[in-house]
Structure 1
Amino acid sequence: MSGCGCGGGDLRPVDEAVALLLERAPQAPAVEWVPLSEALGRVLAEEQFAAIDLPAWDNSAMDGYALRAADVPAQGASLPLAGRIAAGEAGSTPLPAGHAVRIFTGAPIPPGADTVVPQERCEAMPGEVRVPPVQLGDHVRRRGEEVRRGEPLVEAGKRLRPQELGLLASVGIARVPVHRRLRVGLLSSGDELREPGEPLGPGQIYNANRYTLCGLLRSLGLDVQDYAVLVDELAASRDALSLAVSECDVLVSSGGVSVGEEDHLKNAIRELGELHLWRLAIQPGKPLAYGEIDGKPWLGLPGNPAAALITALVVMRPFLLRAQGVREVLPAPLALPAGFAWPQPRSRRQYLRARLEAGRVVLHPDQGSAMLRAASWADGLALVEIGQTLEEGQPVAFLPFAELS
C-alpha cells in the first residue's frame, strides 16, 4: 500500500482502493454462540448443515383428499372416505384400496396414497367424495425434496436474514456460531460542529455526519461506540484516538483529513501509528484516509455530508463487512434505462443521487457534496464511469440503497 500521498498525485480508482482495503481487513472477531432468536443480522462463523430431511416426511401441499392415482379412471370417480388427517397427526394408518382420505396442508401422506386432489376440485358427499381425473404425485411434497440430511444449508460468512433464520429453524437448529459484533469507534472532527438542539454561533454547523454514519454503522449490525467531537488541537486528537483504539476494533472518523492547517487528525494518526492519505477518483468525496494505530484500522472520511455518506457506502461499508467476517461484500449494480442525459465526460466516477420513476433512473437536481437532501429524496445511486457519456434511455448502472445496508 502506498505512503501518505498528502501532496496529491494521481487519483486512485475507487475499485482499486476498495480492493486494497479488503486485503488489509483484519481477522473477523471471535466466535460466540447465540440463540437463533438473537441471530438476525449476525455473521455466521461456521457452515451449517441440515440435521434432518426437509420435509421430514411426504406431506400434503394442499387442503384436499389423498388417494391412489391408480384408483381414479380417466373420467374421474367417487371414492368412499376412510377418515381424515390434520397437520400434526401421525397419518400412519394405511389407506385402503379404492378409498380417499380427507387431508389438510402439511399433514403426512398415509401409506398407500400417492396423490392429493385440492378440495376446490372435488365434490364432497356424505361418506364419499367425487374427484376429477388426477396426475400421479400431484400436490405431494416428497420427503427430503428441499434438503437432505447432512446437506450444506447456510455458508459461513453469511449475514443472517429472516429467511436464513427460518431455514435453520426448519431443521431444528436452535443456536448458531456467529462472530462477535465488530466494535467501531465513531469520531467527528471540527470546532465548528454542534449537536442538534444546541444554539448555533457564527460559523457553526450541526453535526449531520455523526447521525448519518452512526445510523449506517448500526444498520450493518456493528457495535458503535460514539465519541465526542474532537477539538481541532493535536494533543486532544491524539488523546481521543488513544482512548478509542483501546476500546474498539476499528475507528471511523469524518472531517480533519484534508490539507488545511486545522486538520490535526491526520497528524495525530501519523504520530500514533501509520497513515495513508489517498485522493480517490470519486465524486462526491475525493479525500479518503486510511491508517493503523496499534494494528487497528482507521478510516477517515470527508467532512462534507453527502461526500461522507457516499464514501461510507462505497468504500467503508465493504471494508467493515469484511472485517466482521462477511465474505460477499460488493453489491452488483443494476443496468436500467437512464431518465437523464450525461453529455460531458468527467475525470472521476460519479455517484449521483437518483431514484426510479416509471422504470427509469432520474436524478435529483442538486448533486453537491454538502447536500444531503438529494440523498434523502433518492432510493439509490446512479454510477457514471470516468469518461462516460449517456443519452437518455441508455443503460446506466444503478445501486439501490437497499443493497447498501
Structure 2
Amino acid sequence: MTISNDTSGQAASLAQNPLRVDAARAIIRAAVRPVAAVEHVALRSALNRVLAVDIVSPIDVPAHDNAAMDGYAFAGAVLSNAGAAAARAPLSLAVVGEARAGHPFERACGPLECVRIMTGAPMPAGCDTVVPQELVTRKDSHVEFDAQNVAPGANCRRAGEDLARGRAALDAGRIVRSADLGLLASLGVAEVPVRRRVRVAFFSTGDELRSVGEPLDAGCVYDSNRYTLYAMLERMNVDVDVLDLGVIRDEPSAIEAALRSAAASADVVLTSGGVSVGDADFTARMTATLGDVAFWQLAMRPGRPLAFGRLSAAAPGSSEGGALFFGLPGNPVAVMVSFYQFVRDALIAMSGANAAGPLQFAAASSTPIKKRPGRTEFLRAVAMRDAAGQWSVTPTPAQGSGVLSSMSRANCFIVLAHEQGDVAAGTPVDIMPFEGLI
C-alpha cells in the first residue's frame, strides 16, 4: 500500500491490524534487487566482497602428483609383483636420490628403486606410492619395509585432486572469506570480479538528540542509534559503503532535504525515529511524499513502528527507480532488533550474496515467559550450555525497548512466534545467538 500525506485514518487502521513479521519479510524480499555493477579489485581487497562471476580454476591444484608425508617414493606395482614373497620377507628397494619441495628428483625411478621424498615434493617419474619413513629400516643405500603395511598409491596427492583445471573453484554470489582468499591465491588470481558495495545512508531524527561531544541540554539525550547502526553495518557479513548524515531536527523541510540527499547518494536509506503516529513523527509522512511506503506498523515487539518503502530519487548507477527506505523506531533496542530481523538480510540480498540467514536453534527456557499470541517477540536473553552439552536460556531482567544495556548483557534473542502463547519453564524456545551477528 501507499500512504498519503494524511495518515491519521490509516494510522488507526494499522494500529488495529499491524502487519505480521513474515508478511513484512515477504514484501521486502520482493522489493530487493541485487546491485548490477561489477568491479575488479586486488586479491586482498576482495575479502568480504561478493563474487560477481564463477571463478574457474586456470590450473590443476595441486599442479603435480606430490608426497602427502615424508618417506620413500616408489612404484606401487612392486607391491603386487612381490606376491607371496612379500608375506615372507621385507621388501628391499635401492635409494637412488632425494626429492624436496621445490627441488624435484629429475630422472625416472626404476621398479626396484625408491627416492627419499619430503612432504609436498613432486613425485618422481615412475613413482605413485610413498611408504612413511617410520615404517622403513635404512641399510646403507637400501631401505626395507613390510610390503603388507603399504597399499599401492598410498600417501600420494594427485594433480588436480583439490581443484581440476576448468572446474568452478568458487561460485558467483559467494562472500569471499579467509579460506577463499587463500584458495584464489593458490590459483594465481591477482584480481577478483566482485559486485560493487551496497551504499547505505543513515541519520537519526529528533530535536532532543545530541551527538557525542556536544553539551547535553535539559531534556536532551545523546544519540546512540547512529553508533549502533554504524557498528551493525560494519559487522555485516558483507562489506557495504556507509554514509552517516548525522542528526536531523524534527522539521518537515529538514527531513525532506535529508531524505532527498540520502536517496540521491545511496541504494538504501535508514532512519531512526519519526515513524510512529505522534504529531512530530514526520519521517513516514514525508517519505510518502517522496515515494511509496509499503508498511509502517508491524505485529512485533519491540519494533512495532517500522516503515518500509522506496524513495523516488535514485542514486547514480542504481538498478532500480530509487533507494529502498527503512524507517526504524526511535528506541535503541527496537532499532537493533529491527535491523537484524529485516535490514541485514535485505542488504545481503542486495549485495548479490547467496548467504543463509542468522543461525537459530532450540534451548530450554529456564523461566516461565508471558507471551500474548498475535505478535512476534524478540527477547534479549543469556544462553548457556551445561556440562552435559544441553542449552538453556534466560531472558534478561529489563526488556524495555529503551534499555540498551540489556543488549550488552545478552548473548542471544529468544524468538517467540506470532501464534505462540505463554511459555512454561523448561519448554524449548528458538534462540538466535549474537556471536557472528552482533
Correspondence for 2:99: 85
Number of the residue aligned with 2:178: 162
Cα displacement string for residues 262-311 of structure 1 (whole angstroms, at most 9, x for unaligned residues):
11222221222222333222222111101222222111111111110011
Q: In structure 2, what is the Cα distance between the partners aligned to 1:316 and 1:372? A: 19
Distance 1:269 1:104, change over 3 A: same
**Cα distance in 1 between the residues matched to 2:91 and 2:222:** 77
Give the 3-state SS of the residue equivalent to 2:200 in structure 1.
strand
Distance 2:381 2:57 in 1: 42
Map of 1:62 onto structure 2: 69
Kept in 2: contact 1:67–1:95 (CA 8 A): yes
Relative to 1, partners in 2 of residues 1:136 and 1:374: Cα closer, same or farther, differing over 3 Å?
Answer: farther
Q: Once the 2 structures are TM-superposed, how far is the Cα of residue 255 of structure 1 from its aligned partner?
A: 0.9
Partner of 1:333: 360
Query: 1:379 and 1:54 mapped to 2: Cα distance?
Result: 41
Report the equivalent of 1:245: 263
Within the candidate set 44, 65, 69, 2:51 is matched to: 44
Greater alpha carbon shift after TM alignment, 207-216 vs 262-271: 262-271
1:109 maps to which residue? 123
Does structure 2 conserve the Cα–Cα contact (< 8 Å) formed by 1:68 and 1:112? yes
Q: CA shift at 1:394, angstroms?
A: 4.4
Sequence identity percentage: 39
- Distance in 1, Cα, partners of 2:201 & 2:123: 56
Within a 5 Å distance, the mapping from 1:188-207 to structure 2 comes to 188-207=204-223
The alpha-carbon deviation at position 325 of structure 1 amounts to 1.6
- Alignment partner of 1:383 is 2:383: no
Between the aligned partners of 2:99 and 2:341, the Cα distance in structure 1 is 55
TM-superposed deviation, 1:324: 1.7
Moved more, 52-61 or 5-14: 5-14
Moved more, 48-57 or 350-359: 350-359
Contact 1:352–1:367 under 8 Å retained in 2: yes
Q: What residue is the counterpart of 1:210 in the other structure?
A: 226
Stretch moving more, 176-185 or 79-88: 79-88
2:287 is the alignment partner of 1:280: no
For 1:78 and 1:230, the matched residues in 2 are separated by: 84
**Secondary structure at the counterpart of residue 229 of structure 1:** strand
CA contact (8 A) 2:2 2:292 kept: no
AA of the residue aligned to 1:107 = A
Match of 2:7 in 1: none
* Residues 144 and 308 (structure 1), Cα distance of their counterparts in 2 relative to 1, 3 Å cut: same
Question: Which residue of the partner structure matches residue 298 of structure 1?
Answer: 325
The separation in 1 between residues aligned to 2:377 and 2:90, in whole angstroms, is 65
Name the CA shift for 1:21/1:62 in 2 (closer, same or farther; >3 Å).
same
Q: 2:243 aligns with which of 200, 214, 225?
A: 225
3-state DSSP class of the match of 1:228?
Answer: strand
Task: Give yes or no for contact 1:6–1:277 (8 Å, CA) kept in 2.
Answer: no
Letter in 2 for 1:6: A
Which residue number in structure 2 is paired with residue 234 of structure 1? Answer: 252
Distance 1:374 1:128, change over 3 A: farther
The whole-number CA distance in structure 2 between the counterparts of 1:390 and 1:124 is 71
- Stretches of structure 1 that go unaligned for 5 or more consecutive residues are none
Q: What amino acid is the match of 2:353? A: V
Rg comparison, structure with higher value: 2
Conserved 8 A contact 1:29-1:182: no
Amino acid at match of 1:400: P
Q: Which residue of 1 aligns with 2:190?
A: 174
State the partner residue of 2:403: 371
Deviation at 1:138, TM superposition (A): 2.0
Q: 1:235 to 1:57 in 2, by over 3 A?
A: same
Report which stretch shifted further, 54-63 or 127-136: 127-136
Q: Unpaired runs of 5+ in structure 2?
A: 5-9, 80-85, 313-321
Work out whether residues 114 and 140 of structure 1, in 8 Å CA contact, stay in contact via their aligned partners in 2. Answer: yes
8 Å CA contact 1:353, 1:380 repeated in 2 = yes
Aligned residue in 1 for 2:437: 404
Indicate the RMSD between aligned Cα atoms, in angstroms: 2.4
Cα distance, 1:79–1:177 mapped onto 2, change above 3 Å = same
The structural deviation recorded for 1:184 is 0.8
Matched pairs, number: 405
Report deviation, 1:59. Answer: 1.2
2:335 to 308, 315, 324: 308
Instruction: Decide whether aligned partners of structure 1 residues 115 and 377 sit closer, same or farther in structure 2, where only a CA change above 3 A counts.
Output: farther
1:190 positional shift: 1.0
**What does residue 319 of structure 2 align with?**
none
**Structure 1 residue 150 and structure 2 residue 150: aligned?**
no
How far does the alpha carbon of each residue in 1:284-343 deviate from its partner, in whole angstroms, 9 at most, with x for none? 211110122222211111111111001101100111111122233533522344444436
Confirm or deny: 8 A CA contact 1:277 1:287 kept in the other structure: no
| SS of the residue 1:287 aligns to | coil
- Provide the rounded CA distance (Å) in 1 between the counterparts of 2:409 and 2:152: 54
Contact 2:226–2:246 (8 Å) recurs in 1? no
Bigger drift between 234-243 and 80-89 goes to 80-89
Describe the shift of the 1:143–1:391 C-alpha distance in structure 2 as closer, same or farther (beyond 3 A).
farther
CA contact (8 A) 1:321 1:329 kept: no
Contact 1:208–1:305 (CA under 8 A) maintained in structure 2:
yes
1:42, CA displacement in angstroms? 0.7
Q: Does 1:119 align with 2:133?
A: yes
Could you tell me which amino acid in structure 1 is paired with residue 179 of structure 2? Q
Residue 319 of structure 1 corresponds to which residue in structure 2? 346
Q: Give, as a single letter, the amino acid of the residue that structure 1 aligns with 2:195.
A: H
For 2:54 and 2:401, how far apart are their aligned partners in 1? Answer: 42
Alignment match, 1:362: 393
Choose 375-384 or 221-230, whichever is displaced more.
Answer: 375-384
